């Protein structure tokens, strides 16, 4: 049985490493142009080289996004950019624009090409067309059901790979083709600069009463009527695999290291559990509990089972639910002293109850009994960002393990 690929977002080099360590089969990254996520840190050419070398050392793959919808002024830089990236060892480039596709085919024919979800591929005829042009993989539009995906798989050749999003933010517009941001504040979503106006609160103005703002209220907090819930398909691993998908994609190049690691580890465990015993596979509710420990909105199944309804929108707030704080990462561990060297990411103190997570679904709870700063002094708190400290940890931990703690009062 060919195993489905778990594809993770990597907004920078650090996130790429955590995604790989925590179980992603492949990552997708963006350069500093053409990548549709201008707000992410993204990768310089040197960082791409390092990231590709790191991923390949683990036998994993790296895909580069080239999926903006370019204007004339963007094209002048394309030739130089393709020359810079074509020999880096990338495993594929992701694009949506036919002109960009033609250019890559002419100037870097050795690069594998994946068709972005921005191309709005919703049927098998379109998928076959692009495959005949030389596309190796089609990333399907989000607006497809399990039945539609299965039919696309049935009516396309096995040489064409198909990929779909299974987790992360949903766009109010058709597979990301949004113009709200352009219209409201002149930031082009289709060139990577979306200001996410779908998450804003709106009020109604009647044309004959200018300046009189009428709230559109589901509750006394107002209504965010463009604001979708987040996609989460952790409960449907067998259906995703059996629909014929070759790759399961997590959204989130602008998310934190902790988010990427935690979401990847949950899906990795669920996918591996299915392949260990497809007939006896049982969904484990702990996987969903783990996913909820990363920043999220309420969840939806998107279009997989039926078309979304009013139940798939968030009307009260655009804020994320954050039940846990990401407080540090392990840099090293001394088994003789049982002391872990930790780089702090958020404030924590002696007496805090924390959880430590790692790859292969490792998890352990403990209380912080001591904090030693870089001067060897015992202190009560670790308040400084990226402060390097030491704490006692009874069980052996390794670099890239993550420390988190519940929000105060959450589990009292």
Round to whole Å and give the CA distance between 251 and 128. 25
Cα(98)–Cα(412) distance, rounded to whole angstroms? 56
* Local confidence band at 193 (pLDDT 50, 70, 90 cut-offs): low
Top-confidence residue, 169 or 310: 169
Q: Which CATH architecture has domain 5-173+228-305?
A: Alpha-Beta Barrel (3.20)
| Residues 341 and 315 sit within 8 Å (Cβ to Cβ) | no
Closest by CA to 284, choosing from 302, 269, 296, 301, is: 269
pLDDT of residue 189: 61
Lowest mean pLDDT among 84-88, 206-210, 377-381: 206-210
pLDDT of 412 reads 43
How would you classify the pairing of strands 348-349 and 61-65? unpaired
Which tens digit of pLDDT belongs to each residue from 339-355?
Answer: 999 999 999 999 999 99
Return d(Cα 386, Cα 289) in angstroms, integer. 28
Mean pLDDT of 181-191: 64
Find the angle CA(88)-CA(176)-CA(268) to the nearest 5 degrees: 60
Residue 391 backbone dihedrals phi, psi, to 5 degrees: -135, 150
State the sign of the Cα–Cα–Cα–Cα dihedral 286, 290, 293, 296: negative
3-state helix, strand, coil in the chain (%, to 5): 30, 25, 45
User: Using an 8 Å Cβ cutoff, are 261 and 355 in contact?
Assistant: no
CATH code of 324-406, in short, is 2.40.30.10
- Residue 243: strand, helix, or coil: coil
The DSSP element (H or E) to which 287 belongs, if any, is: helix 285-291
Query: What predicted TM-score, i.e. pTM, was given to this entire model?
Result: 0.86
Range name among 26-30, 95-99, 154-158, 197-201 with the lowest pLDDT average:
197-201
Report the distance separating Cα 345 and Cα 327, nearest Å: 5
Q: How confident is the model at residue 258 (pLDDT cuts 50, 70, 90)?
A: very high
Q: Assess whether pLDDT exceeds 90 at residue 360.
A: no
Q: 324: which residues sit within 8 A by CB, 6+ positions away?
A: 293, 294, 355, 404, 405, 406, 407
CA nearest 330: which of 351, 360, 355, 353? 355
The answer to which of 83-92, 222-231, 264-273 has the lowest mean pLDDT is 222-231
338: left (phi over 0), alpha (psi -120 to 50) or beta: left
User: In the chain, where are the structural domains located?
Assistant: 5-173+228-305, 324-406
């Amino acid at each position: 049985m060919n195993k489905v690929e778990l594809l993770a977002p990597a907004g920078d080099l650090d996130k790429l490493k955590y995604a790989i360590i925590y179980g992603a089969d492949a990552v997708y990254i963006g350069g500093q142009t053409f990548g549709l996520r201008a707000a992410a840190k993204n990768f310089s050419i040197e960082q791409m080289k390092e990231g590709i070398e790191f991923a390949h050392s683990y036998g994993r793959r790296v895909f580069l996004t080239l999926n903006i919808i370019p204007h004339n002024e963007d094209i002048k830089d394309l030739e130089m950019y393709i020359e810079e990236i074509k020999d880096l060892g990338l495993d594929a480039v992701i694009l949506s624009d036919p002109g960009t596709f033609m250019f890559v085919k002419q100037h870097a024919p050795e690069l594998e090409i994946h068709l972005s979800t921005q191309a709005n591929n919703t049927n098998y005829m379109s998928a076959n067309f692009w495959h005949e042009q030389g596309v190796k993989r089609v990333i399907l539009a989000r607006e497809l059901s399990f039945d539609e995906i299965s039919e696309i798989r049935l009516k396309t050749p096995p040489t064409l790979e198909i990929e779909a999003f299974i987790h992360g933010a949903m766009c109010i517009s058709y597979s990301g083709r949004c113009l709200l941001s352009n219209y409201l504040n002149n930031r082009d979503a289709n060139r990577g600069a979306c200001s996410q106006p779908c998450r804003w609160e709106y009020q109604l103005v009647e044309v004959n009463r200018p300046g009189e703002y009428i709230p559109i209220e589901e509750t006394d907090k107002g209504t965010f009527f463009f604001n979708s819930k987040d996609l989460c398909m952790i409960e449907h691993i067998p259906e995703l695999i059996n629909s014929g998908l070759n790759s399961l994609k997590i959204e989130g190049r602008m998310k934190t290291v902790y988010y990427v690691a935690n979401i990847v580890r949950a899906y990795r465990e669920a996918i591996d559990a299915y392949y260990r015993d497809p007939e006896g596979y049982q969904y484990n509710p702990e996987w969903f509990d783990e996913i909820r420990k990363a920043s999220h909105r309420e969840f939806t199944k998107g279009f997989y089972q039926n078309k979304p309804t009013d139940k798939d929108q968030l009307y009260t707030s655009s804020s994320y639910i954050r039940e846990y704080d990401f407080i540090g990462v392990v840099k090293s561990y001394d088994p003789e002293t049982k002391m872990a060297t930790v780089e702090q990411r958020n404030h924590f103190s002696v007496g805090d109850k924390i959880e430590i997570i790692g790859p292969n679904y490792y998890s352990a709870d403990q209380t912080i009994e001591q904090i030693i700063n870089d001067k060897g002094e015992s202190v009560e708190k670790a308040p400084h960002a990226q402060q390097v400290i030491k704490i006692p940890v009874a069980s052996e931990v390794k670099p890239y393990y993550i420390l988190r703690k519940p929000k105060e009062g959450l589990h009292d």
